[in-house]
Structure 1
Amino acid sequence: MSKAPHDRFDDVPRTTGRVGAHRAEQPGINGPITLLWSAAVAVVLIVIGIFVSLVLMGRIDLFPSADPAGQPAPGVVAEVDTSYRVLILNATTEAGQVASVRETLIAQGWQPDAVFGSEGSTTEFDETTVFYVDEADESAALGVAEILGGVKAEQSDHYAALNDTELPQLTVVIGMDRVNGASTSPGAGEETPAG
């Protein structure tokens, strides 16, 4: 067989490597890695879905109102109304707090059978608060709050189930702030720092 004559294409340097389209599977991609990426994307989408659902149901408030909780609405005047029953819950580690608050309220005109409470608590509460259920109860709650030394009053139906009568009821939750030096003398209406 004769040799082909030399031409200009014989002078082009030969390159190593493959030329052209190759449809072979790429070596870096395999099943387990693809499965992990798919699972990660699914988890992210589920978390986003749960967050959006909570926002739409009102469980998460993206833009809270400027009014801080516990602040009285403008125009609401504190009023001492002894027709309310008062439930006192001790959320501190110190016994005897219920009796102290009860004596303070009885000294202000409440009937002894209208003021009752419980010393037992499994969790500590930071700030003494008077809770009321309806807006109509706010002035009475502010009155009790003033008697107890200007403590916070806050609307909540959390303790509404503890009212077993038709009479309106306020709930005083004694917090650690009362144990840590704050005390009130009956009728004083102001906190007295510990000496």
Structure 2
Amino acid sequence: MAIHHRLIEENRVAKRTEDAGARPVNRQDYPEDRFDRIARSGRVGAHRVTARPRYTWQYLIAALLGFAILTTLGVLAVHAIGDAGKLPIRGEGLTSSSGQTQPDAEINPDATIAVLNGTTTEHLAAAVDKIVTEEAWGKILFSGSASAADVQISAVFYSDPADEGAAAGLAAKLGGLSTYTTTDYDQYGAQLVVLIGADYQGPGLTEAAQIAAETDPGTDGSISMGGAGGGATAEPEIDPATGWEIDPATGFPIDPATGLPVDPATGLAADPAAPAS
């Protein structure tokens, strides 16, 4: 009887096993890809990302170079701005004699000279005129105010290279002024043109103060700046268009070459007795 029951149980187990083997399995085969051949390693997740090299030293060098370039440009810009407008020259074609072979400085008593006062110090051109004449440093053709009263640098100008030595000699007598070659002042008809600026420390400053004191007794004898003291100026009025002295009688500019007033409308010498229209 026991054997019979055991056989029945074995048949049941065999039946269940057969049924399980015949049951269909829901499985789908996929083609093989690169993920089926991943090499075994100890890394998982984000740790599998390869670290990129860092170039901190390159950024540091670029920053230093940029700083050096900007600093250099800033220094050059400051120097350019500081040097702007320092030369009291009205036109182009200026040549300095400082960097060239200097001829012997000599005083030419026959050299014609024009003196222009580019400062607010009254009577300075007249004072320098007087000293140049008394010392026989040249022959004054004209002395008066320049077209501007804010000239900063004093200098002696000449247009003919043959006058370089005479310009250097006169510049030395007037306190060691610089000399330049230019044609900007040819209208004065003088070989040498002395332009007095704010830096002038040559002879004539004391004499200008004395002239101011004599002209206006109310002054204390000091140098008059900007018309201080209210005294009348002895320097003639200058025509801004030509730079020539204006004739008080006609109102026309006086040609330094002829000494006659010239009508700007016609370019001809005007009748001194006829007032300007």
TM-score (norm 1): 0.51
Alpha-carbon separation, structure 2, partners of 1:101 and 1:92:
13
* Offset from partner CA, 1:13-67 (integer Å, 9 cap, x none): xxxxxxxxxxxxxxxxxxxxxxxxxxxxxxxxxxxxxxxxxxxxxxxxxxxxxxx
Which is bigger in relative contact order (C-alpha 8 A, separation at least 6)? 1
Alpha carbon RMSD of aligned pairs, Å? 3.2
Matches within 5 A, 1:42-191: 69-71=96-98, 73-110=100-137, 114-163=140-189, 169-178=191-200, 182-184=201-203
* Offset from partner CA, 1:88-125 (integer Å, 9 cap, x none): 1111111111012112211221566x342112543411
Alpha-carbon separation, structure 1, partners of 2:134 and 2:176:
17
Task: Using the TM superposition, name which of 147-156 and 68-77 deviates more.
Answer: 68-77
Three-state SS of the structure 2 residue aligned to 1:177 is coil
| TM-aligned CA distance change 1:117 to 1:147, over 3 Å | same
| TM-aligned CA distance change 1:111 to 1:170, over 3 Å | closer
**Structure 1 contact 95–119 (Cα < 8 Å) conserved:** no
Runs of 4+ aligned residues of structure 1 deviating over 4 Å after TM superposition are none
Question: Gaps spanning 5+ residues in structure 1: where?
Answer: 1-67, 187-195
Alpha-carbon separation, structure 2, partners of 1:111 and 1:136:
15
**Structure 1 contact 93–124 (Cα < 8 Å) conserved:** yes
TM-score (norm 2): 0.37
Three-state SS of the structure 1 residue aligned to 2:153 is coil
- How many residue pairs were aligned? 120
Three-state SS of the structure 2 residue aligned to 1:117 is strand
